Structure 1
């Protein structure tokens, strides 16, 4: 990895962590396409490791507001999804895994733009948890299904519930990926090198969140995610 590539990954992690703290998700959606472009071996494992640390910090700050019952049903659904996602990582060639990451980003953005709002029923939360397990383990992008099913929650409650879900869910995914043999010295080393960038994003989030317009922030993040996914798709065919 060149110095320029490391700077690009660090900046991506800072922005992704800031967004994760501000709205409850976003690190995977922004970082996964960029990591896949720079080094496919880093996605999804390194992104999941960084996201685990960020969500843990958010949960410490706002954990008392989490909807633990809803989180429990979502995690129950995530269990079979994690197994399926780990299987995809184990059997898919790097090229197809990259296309899957790009596809997940673009479908998530399309659903958000379309304004799809499922009812927050137990069955919907279970299915969203399962989808998040597959997507989160295979691509590190498990936020869109949960964001859609929990979007009626207030800002602090949404961030706390999403963080509780993703902390446990990411640990489940990392355990499955470890069993599948995708966690090694290469991913651990880069996770450690990029951890300071994640901490910087978390620290910047507190003073900046009050000044940021949530709608504009989400729009900018969506645009970045679409751009990264689009470049990733083009890269596979060039």
Structure 2
């Protein structure tokens, strides 16, 4: 066992983390959408904290590459709005038992998949950016799925601007979420231990994803990943509803 987590569970989560990081590097999403429902199925106590911890190095790597392409206007409106969303997300994650949290995670994944598959045009106004920041803070903290609300308001921006802006948003937001979980004494030791143990795996998976980026049919791969996320969420939802 590692940090009271059985070795078979550690190995299974390692596969999920590697796949999530590979997909994240390839199409720009996947770690939270794929990881949250699958990890919740085998070890609910690690959701969302393990994924929030892993999001910091993953997003930092992208941020370093795209650091000159950040939209400070988006950050200026969305990031402050994430703070109350983060507080609400911590409350959601700590106020309910694992069964209810499983339902919350599953529903959030299904909504996120729907938003990602059927992107609508949302104008970037202070109100929409603050709303996206609030929603991303809540969903990102409660279930580690904060990407879709922000992606929605940046859907028609240049790809490098999207990656740079969202990476900064997620680095700061994930650190804030982790600190709040720690303050509430709700940051499991197992999440910290496994996040550190998985760092080399994260680096290799991200490198492989970047290398494969140009070779994989992006849209077909993206839809396949989203369908897998939806299927995982449905299994988690049924499992949680049946208790």
Indicate the TM-score class for this superposition, using the shorter chain for normalisation.
over 0.9
1:205 equivalent among 193, 209, 227 = 209
1:84 equivalent among 69, 85, 88 = 88
Task: Trace 1:87-98 onto structure 2 (pairs within 5 A).
Answer: 87-98=91-102
Does the 8 Å CA contact 1:32/1:101 hold for their aligned counterparts? yes
Partner of 1:15: 19
Unaligned runs of 5+ in 1: none
Which is worse superposed, 77-86 or 23-32?
23-32
Distance in 2 between residues matched to 1:142 and 1:35, nearest whole Å:
17
For the aligned residue pairs, the C-alpha RMSD in angstroms reads 1.5
1:196 and 2:196 matched: no
Distance 1:24 1:74, change over 3 A: farther
Task: Trace 1:110-125 onto structure 2 (pairs within 5 A).
Answer: 110-125=114-129
SS of the aligned residue for 1:181 comes to coil
Offset at residue 37 of structure 1 (A): 0.8
Task: Note the alpha carbon deviations across 1:100-130, whole angstroms, 9 max, x for none.
Answer: 0000010111223333221122210110000
Offset at residue 3 of structure 1 (A): 4.0
1:227 and 2:226 matched: no
Does the 8 Å CA contact 2:27/2:213 hold for their aligned counterparts? no
SS of the aligned residue for 2:67 comes to helix
Give TM-score scaled by structure 2 length: 0.92
Distance in 1 between residues matched to 2:42 and 2:93, nearest whole Å:
18
1:37 equivalent among 13, 22, 41 = 41
Task: Note the alpha carbon deviations across 1:63-104, whole angstroms, 9 max, x for none.
Answer: 111212212211011011001111111211111111100000
Offset at residue 182 of structure 1 (A): 1.3
Unaligned runs of 5+ in 2: none
Does the 8 Å CA contact 1:64/1:160 hold for their aligned counterparts? yes
Query: Aligned pair count?
Result: 238
Distance in 2 between residues matched to 1:63 and 1:224, nearest whole Å:
31
Give TM-score scaled by structure 1 length: 0.94
1:61 and 2:51 matched: no
